[in-house]
């Protein structure tokens, strides 16, 4: 496996992504983008990119915030994320810039891209599908589900996989129903899996804050991993 960081830009704004390529790379290799949690592009998402490289894809852990900024506290993480929750056009522009950056990755196939994201990153990939008609599929993993106030109805040409903890305090039934209406209106191929008794951040082994509602769940993590792998294969085989 080969790994390296990559700088990409939106105007004068610099972003620092992480690329993991398979050991036996070939031309037109499918790409899996990974959008990070509220903390920024931390080791967790870089490791997910490397996992994708082991499976034969190019893993691309993107930098949503820019300049490789990583929050150092709950308050800072909240401030970093909130800027994009409140300005969805900005979030969408940053996601499009990351998608366009794939053109600069050697042997990457821009026509075969799946985007997956964790927590805040789940919202990020939903917004990518709202404005981008090229991405093959998106995977929101314990992702926020917030309607985009700048778009009545998104494109959602991509296949959609939503992996959700049934007891996630950050996803209300109202949020989900609005997203479902948007997906149904787009007539997209979507699926949602709820894991019973499971809270937010269930794939993060370090999540253990019941008061905050972020708790790792080994079974949900294992089951979601299989669903993710199968979904990616399906998207790239269409």
Q: What is the mean pLDDT of residues 156-183?
A: 97
Q: Residue 20 is encoded by which pair of tokens? A: 């993991």
Which residue bears the tokens 């927590």? 119
Q: β-pairing, 29-35 with 58-61?
A: parallel
Task: Give the helix/strand (H/E) hosting 223.
Answer: helix 218-237
Q: β-pairing, 137-141 with 108-118?
A: parallel
Cβ atoms of 182 and 211 within 8 Å: the answer is no
Residue 238 has pLDDT above 90, yes or no: no
Cβ atoms of 35 and 42 within 8 Å: the answer is no
Q: What is the mean pLDDT of residues 159-165?
A: 98
Quick one: pLDDT at residue 172? 97
Quick one: pLDDT at residue 67? 96
CATH number at residue 51: 3.40.50.1820
Confidence of residue 29 (pLDDT cuts 50, 70, 90): very high
Q: β-pairing, 108-118 with 29-35?
A: parallel
Quick one: pLDDT at residue 174? 98
Q: Quick check: helix, strand or coil at residue 40?
A: coil
Q: What is the pLDDT of residues 69-114, one digit of tens each?
A: 999 999 999 999 999 999 999 999 999 999 999 999 999 999 999 9
Round the average pLDDT of the chain to a whole number and report it: 97
Q: Residue 107 is encoded by which pair of tokens? A: 């042997």
Strands of 29-35's sheet in order across:
2-10, 13-21, 58-61, 29-35, 108-118, 137-141, 159-165, 190-195
Q: Quick check: helix, strand or coil at residue 99?
A: helix
Q: β-pairing, 159-165 with 190-195?
A: parallel
Q: What is the pLDDT of residues 122-146, one digit of tens each?
A: 999 999 999 999 999 999 999 999 9
CA distance 210 to 45: 23
Q: What is the pLDDT of residues 178-226, one digit of tens each?
A: 999 999 999 999 999 999 999 999 999 999 999 999 999 999 999 999 9
Q: Residue 21 is encoded by which pair of tokens? A: 């390529």
| Angle CA 38–43–45, to nearest 5 | 65
**What is the count of structural domains for the chain?**
1
Q: Which residue range forms the structural domain that includes residue 221?
A: 2-237
CA distances to 87, 196, 203, 213 from 95, rounded to whole Å, are: 13, 31, 23, 27
């Amino acid at each position: 496996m080969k790994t390296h960081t990559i700088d990409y830009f939106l105007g004068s704004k610099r972003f620092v992504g992480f690329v993991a390529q398979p050991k036996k790379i070939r031309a037109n290799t499918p790409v899996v983008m990974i959008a990070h949690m509220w903390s920024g592009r931390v080791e967790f998402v870089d490791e997910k990119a490397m996992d994708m490289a082991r499976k034969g894809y190019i893993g691309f852990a993107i930098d949503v915030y820019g300049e490789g900024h990583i929050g150092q506290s709950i308050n800072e993480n909240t401030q970093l994320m909130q800027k994009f929750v409140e300005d969805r056009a900005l979030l969408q522009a940053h996601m499009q810039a990351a998608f366009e950056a794939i053109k600069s990755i050697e042997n990457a196939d821009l026509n075969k891209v799946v985007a997956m994201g964790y927590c805040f990153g789940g919202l990020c990939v939903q917004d990518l599908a709202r404005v981008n008609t090229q991405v093959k599929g998106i995977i929101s993993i314990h992702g926020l589900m917030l309607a985009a106030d700048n778009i009545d109805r998104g494109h959602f040409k991509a296949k959609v996989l939503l992996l959700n903890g049934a007891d996630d305090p950050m996803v209300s039934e109202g949020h989900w129903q609005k997203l479902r209406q948007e997906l149904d209106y787009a007539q997209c191929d979507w699926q949602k899996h709820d894991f019973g008794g499971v809270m937010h951040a269930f794939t993060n082994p370090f999540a253990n804050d019941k008061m905050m509602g972020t708790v790792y769940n080994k079974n949900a993590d294992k089951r979601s991993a299989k669903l993710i792998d199968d979904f990616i294969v399906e998207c790239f085989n269409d």
